[in-house]
Amino acid sequence: MSDRIKLARADLHFYEEPIISGTRGSGAIFFSGCSLGCVFCQNREISHGGFGEYVSEGELADIMLRLYGRGAHNINLVTPTHFVPSIAGALTEARKRGLEIPVVYNTSSYESASCMEMLSPLIDVYLPDLKYHTKKSAGRYSYAEDLPEIAKRNIDIMYESRGPVCLDKDGLITSGVVVRVLLLPAHVAEAKLILKYLHTRYGDNIFISIMSQYTPISGLTPPLNRRVSISEYAELCDYASDIGIKNAFVQDRESADGSFTPKFDLTGVKPI
């Protein structure tokens, strides 16, 4: 991607964790492109294919304010890493023009240290993935052996920046870190190591979202060509409970359904 912001969708979104989606929805802005290239990506049409429409920083600020005007609980920047310098300009403008809701940074966690520094004064809530514990999995599935190390460093920076999770009177997050752990088929042991790592390091000061929604795309080979089994997911959730994790979200089986992936049709990108 270039430094020109490209978007695929901007709309109220109801399928994030309940402390983010609330009752009125999260103002999700889906950026085109991605700093990773996961083989199982469900958003490949925009992350790999680059589908989207260019907008200026001022237009992105307009989009944020429109979502705010529609009642969004927050602005949710989805896969924004590669556009951070331009997003910083748009956010600063939107804040000056009256944006008063929290900003959520929804990321694969594959950022440089300088990018993390730029984000610190702008972001209220971090929503990072911690997909892998081993270099082997990260290299095989996302072509980035250094992802576990970089993601862990960045989650440390996020926690230092925002501290423990804060919720408002309605139970919506206003500040803090929610880490997403996506269970992959036949990877319960690795996911347990991730949960153990997170709980040992941050206790219940962060929330952990334990995700079962993995949905195989066509052309994948074993073990990635199937959904996560009920018993695999139950084993992981039991483990989370056994090691004392209290602030966790779990998913219904129905979440592993392609219909939960939003349509990338430029909704909300240009004013009607």
Can you give the binding site for ligand SF4, defined by CB under 6 A?
34, 36-38, 41, 43, 47, 79, 108
Q: How far is the CB of 169 from ligand SF4 (least distance, A)?
A: 33
* Cβ neighbour number for residue 56 with a 10 Å cutoff: 13
Retrieve residue 154's tokens.
Answer: 């960045």
Other Cβ atoms less than 10 A from the Cβ of 239: the count is: 17
State which residue, 101 or 191, has the beta carbon closest to ligand SF4.
191
In this structure, the number of other CB atoms found within 10 A of the CB of residue 242 comes to: 9
Task: Please report, in angstroms and rounded to a whole number, the separation of the first and last CA atoms in the chain.
Answer: 26
Per-residue burial over 155-178, b = 16 or more CB atoms within 10 Å of its CB, e = otherwise: bebbbebbeebeeeeeebbbbbbb
Could you tell me which of 261, 238, 266, 248 has the C-alpha nearest to residue 41?
261
- Residue whose CB is less far from ligand SF4, 43 or 212: 43
> Based on CB atoms, which residue is closest to ligand SF4, 21 or 79?
79
All residues at 6 or more sequence positions from 135 whose CB lies less than 8 Å from its CB, including other chains? 145, 146, 148
Residue 34 C-beta: closest distance to ligand SF4, Å:
3
| Sequence-separated contacts (24+) of 243-246 with Cβ below 8 Å | 243/195, 243/196, 243/199, 244/199, 245/195, 245/199, 245/204, 245/208, 246/204
Shortest distance, position 107 Cβ to ligand SF4, whole Å: 8
Min separation Cβ 84 and ligand SF4, Å: 15
Min. distance of Cβ 71 from ligand SF4 in angstroms? 27
Least distance in Å: CB of 37 to ligand SF4? 5
Kindly tell me which of 107 and 247 has the beta carbon lying closer to ligand SF4: 107
Quick one: 68 or 264, whose CB is closer to ligand SF4? 264
- What whole-number distance in Å separates Cα of residue 176 and Cα of residue 54? 31
User: What's the closest the beta carbon of residue 59 comes to ligand SF4, in angstroms?
Assistant: 23
Q: 236 and 229 in contact (C-beta within 8 Å)?
A: no
Give the nearer residue to ligand SF4 in terms of CB position, either 68 or 110: 110
Q: With respect to ligand SF4, which residue has the nearer C-beta, 34 or 237?
A: 34
Task: Please give the Cα distance from 90 to 96 (Å, whole number).
Answer: 10
